Amino acid sequence: MAIRLIFTEDDEVLFKRTREVVKFDDKLGELFDDMRETMKKADGVGLAAPQVGLLKKAAVIEVDDIYLEMVNPRIIFAEGEQIDFEGCLSVDPSKNCKVLRPQKVTVEAFDRHGKKYQKELEDMAARACCHELDHLEGILFYEKAYKEPKKPQTEIIATDKEDTAQQ
Ligand SMILES: [Zn+2]
């Protein structure tokens, strides 16, 4: 196992779509071992292959007692909403922002041996899963920053009546 370099948003690898994994070999197993170790060392809850410079559909999440290795993952069910702050090991913490995510998801993926599985995830684990799947599409979380809905305007805005009439 080895700690891998975590690429930052200065690198274009983070903005590219990844390719499906077709070979479930020792190299893939090694990648997962390294990604888990790298994520733990960096105190993260998830890591996707582009963050270690590889354009492959592979990602890990580790939230509390849930640890998942996901190959070619897709979300097959999503329910509810949660709005909370998000950050990323590849992005400066000053860019942390709120992101709207589903409260619950079911992810379908393959494990490192090519066995297909489904897993239901909630709360933080659902958030981490969505965040990592976005990485596999070349999307960073802040591109999805949640904007608070504007409060209804109650004040009467003084306008030039002539201008208004012409609209
Ligand atoms: Zn990230």
The one-letter amino acid code at 156 reads I
Domain that residue 93 falls in: 12-145
Is residue 151 situated within a structural domain? Answer: no
- Residue 71 domain-assigned (yes or no): yes
- Per the domain annotation, does 166 fall within a domain? no
Judged against a pLDDT cut of 70, whether residue 161 lies above it is answered with: no
Exactly one of 20, 120, 132, 155 is catalytic; name it.
132
CA of 164 to the centre of ligand 1 (A): 47
Asked if residue 1 is part of any domain, the answer here is no
Ligand 1 centroid – CA 5 distance (Å):
14
Strands 46-48 and 58-63: antiparallel
Question: Count of domains in the chain?
Answer: 1
Q: Has residue 3 been placed in a domain? A: no
Look at the block and give the residue holding tokens 């070999």: 25
Is the predicted pLDDT of residue 164 greater than 70, yes or no?
Answer: no
Is residue 30 part of the annotated active site? The answer reads: no
In tens, the pLDDT along 86-106 reads 999 999 999 999 999 999 999
Q: 115: CA distance to ligand 1 center in Å?
A: 25
H/E stretch holding 159: none
CATH code, 81: 3.90.45.10
52-71 pLDDT per residue, tens = 999 999 999 999 999 999 99
The answer to whether position 115 is within a domain reads: yes
